[in-house]
Amino acid sequence: MPRDLVTQAFLGVDSSLTGRLWAGPTVEEDRKAEALVQETGLPDALCRILALRGVAGPDCAAHLEPKLRDLMPDPRSLKDMEIASARLLKAATDRERVAIFADYDVDGATSAAVLHDWFAAHGLTPTIYVPDRIAEGYGPNAPAMEKLAASHDLIVCVDCGTLAHEALEAAAMTDVVVLDHHLGGETLPRAVAVVNPNRQDESGALAHLCAAAVCFLAVVEANRQARGAGHPTPDPVPLLDLVALATVADVAPLIGVNRAFVRAGLAVMHRRARPGLAALADESGLSEAPAAYHLGYMLGPRINAGGRIGRADLGARLLTTRDGPEAQSLAEKLNALNGERRDIEARVTEEATEQAIARGADAPLIWASGDGWHPGVVGIVASRLKEAFGRPAVVIGTDGGIGKGSGRSVPGIDLGAAVHRLSREGLLIAGGGHKMAAGLTAEAGRIDAAMERLSELLEAQGSGSGAARELRLDGLMMPGAANVEMIEALESAGPFGASAPAPRFAIPGAAIHSARRVGDGHLKLTVSDGLGPRLDAIAFGVFRSDLGPALEAHGGARFHLAGRFEINSWNGRRSAQLRLEDAAKA
């Protein structure tokens, strides 16, 4: 039976302290997990994760150790790739003047850094141009492209460009190559090559790649062509830290080759050979081997901070510098900007949440707009609303009669396609994106009409069907079983992220031995089942709902607890910990 047909509340929890129904594995999924245990001898908890991923017994070993050489696609399977790579190689061998026009987010910065490092290995130092989010907006613009074309032989647009017909026309005097992954239109812009797994005429087999991965495939293909001509080639492996960072930070699905990109990239990052990432890790307080979580929640937001509220090119500069002191200075600036971003985000989130509640939390689309809301935080706030309400969300900041917004979606709802259609219908000045994220620009007076139409399009896809908000659980775990060895076994099924969520378990009938507030609104607990050893738990931001107060004033009552297990490293000691997300009275 499909997982989405679960009807019986897990542990009988049909309304938790956060108002969610707990949905556990189906009978069929339980049987598959038990069969995997018998066939492979792997721990039951790990087999549950593999069963939910659809991994069969003979494939378990390969899934737990994804190898890039086994999963790497042929770059030439993407249209225009051979042409694009040949043009990159010509620029490198002929020592041409190259400009890289990059988006201002993590994917754009890492894409620029991939090409920068590859050209640098050939003795070239390309110009990196990142547009200002407020003054220029997303993607290539005609004045910038015209200026770059006047002083360069080749312009490579990364993480942008597929829909920039007018801007690319302005660069007609020089060659342009586009390496992108955003949803394409019915026609392509004028360029030597447009490589994009989300072109309308692509098969969609590689639609899950981020732009940095497309850039990586482009240099791999360029290396292949160079070797065919008998020329030496730079090793592309050191670039995988950039691809991993972009894949996680851009919320690309961790499926197929993306899993291998992240696994291999984390190993490269652990060597700390890139000064910028090493300095940023230190500035972020990252004192352990990096994991996907750190890329998405520690490093990625800080690199994004430059494009959101600071200088747009700070992230790209950090990732490409080889100077230690400069790397440290840039890391400090980005960390400070990230702090400012958090303050702005908190204010906008509060106001946007009030609007969303007033409009109705069960609508197919959650949206909010406000005059003066900083365009650099609307995407993050949209993510917050999506997580809070379990619906696609769009947040728009208006200024001077123009609204600039960003949206985030939920699995199964293609937000990018809907926004792109809205743009074609004339309700937006511009708009596009991919399944899980999109950006848009609209006249302030047409925002209500545009959001009403977007809600209709998303409802047609099944958004806001009226089903109860669910918390998906992979099974039960007793505190005594949650040790470091078990958590390491579970982590072998990772990396976890978009389309491959970290496993979440329930602890039934737990007794709370201590509960104390820590930090800014967090709760630290010690729990047990009354039979085995005690387990530490941490619940972040828990006093925004009924969850925190209920657990803090537990009065000896027992609770079912739900969350994700992790390894807590402190002063050289490693211990198991539950990152608690929800609870219900037992």
- Name the CATH architecture for the domain at 360-460: Roll (3.10)
Which residues are CB-contacts of 458 (< 8 A; sequence separation ≥ 6)?
364, 365, 392, 413, 415, 418, 464
The pLDDT value given to residue 239: 98
Between 465 and 22, residue with greater pLDDT: 22
Q: How far is CA 60 from CA 47, 50, 463, 541, in A?
A: 9, 7, 34, 36
Q: Quote the CA–CA distance of 258 and 209 in Å, as a whole number.
A: 7
How crowded is residue 1: how many other Cβ atoms within 10 Å of its Cβ?
10
Which structure tokens are listed for 526?
């010690």
Which structure tokens are listed for 78?
């993407």
Cβ pair 278, 272 in contact under 8 A: yes
Q: How confident is the model at residue 572 (pLDDT cuts 50, 70, 90)?
A: confident
Class of domain 473-585: mainly beta
Q: How confident is the model at residue 396 (pLDDT cuts 50, 70, 90)?
A: very high
DSSP string, 153-194: SEEEEES--TT-HHHHHTTTTSEEEEE--SPP-SSPPSSSEE
Q: How confident is the model at residue 545 (pLDDT cuts 50, 70, 90)?
A: confident
**Residue 227 one-letter amino acid:** R
Listed by start position, the domains of the chain span: 70-335, 360-460, 473-585
The pLDDT mean for the chain works out to 94
The three-state secondary structure class of 558 is strand
Q: How far is CA 94 from CA 67, 86, 88, 113, 154, in A?
A: 35, 12, 10, 21, 12
Which residues are CB-contacts of 192 (< 8 A; sequence separation ≥ 6)?
83, 84, 87, 175, 176, 177
The pLDDT value given to residue 520: 82
Q: Quote the CA–CA distance of 204 and 193 in Å, as a whole number.
A: 18
**pLDDT more than 90, % of the chain:** 85
Q: Quote the CA–CA distance of 534 and 478 in Å, as a whole number.
A: 10
Given a cut of 60, whether residue 114 has pLDDT beyond it is yes
**Residue 58 one-letter amino acid:** P
Which structure tokens are listed for 299?
């490093």
Q: Quote the CA–CA distance of 512 and 247 in Å, as a whole number.
A: 38
- Note the pTM of the prediction, 2 decimals: 0.88
Q: List, for residues 447-464, the tens digit of each pLDDT value.
A: 999 999 999 999 999 887
Given a cut of 70, whether residue 47 has pLDDT beyond it is yes
- Name the CATH architecture for the domain at 70-335: Alpha-Beta Complex (3.90)
